[in-house]
Amino acid sequence: MRSGLVDFHCHLDLYPDHEAAVERCEHDGVFTLAVTTTPMAWPRNHELASATRHVRAALGLHPQLVAARAHEIGLWEELLPRTRYVGEVGLDAGPRFYKSFDAQKEVFARVLSLCAAAGNKIVSTHSVRATKAVLDMVEQYMPPSRGRMVLHWFTGTTAEARRAVDLGCYFSVNAEMLVNEKRAAITKALPLDRILTETDGPFTQTDGRPTTSDVWIAVEGLARLHGMPPAVISATVMRNLKSLVVEQE
- 88 in a known ligand binding site: yes
Which DSSP category does 96 fall into? T
Contact indicator for 185, 226 with CB cutoff of 8 Å = no
- Which among 202, 217, 210 is positioned nearest to 11, based on CA atoms? 202
CA distance 57 to 206: 23
- 19 in a known ligand binding site: no
Contact indicator for 60, 86 with CB cutoff of 8 Å = yes
Helices (H) and strands (E) in the chain, counts: 10, 10
Q: What is the dihedral of CA 73, 76, 81, 85, to 10 degrees?
A: -120
- 200 in a known ligand binding site: yes
- 18 in a known ligand binding site: no
Contact indicator for 154, 90 with CB cutoff of 8 Å = no
3-state DSSP assignment of residue 94: coil
- Which among 14, 13, 21, 15 is positioned nearest to 54, based on CA atoms? 21
CA distance 18 to 32: 13
The binding site for a divalent metal cation comprises 9, 11, 88, 126, 152, 200
Binding residues: 9, 11, 88, 126, 152, 200
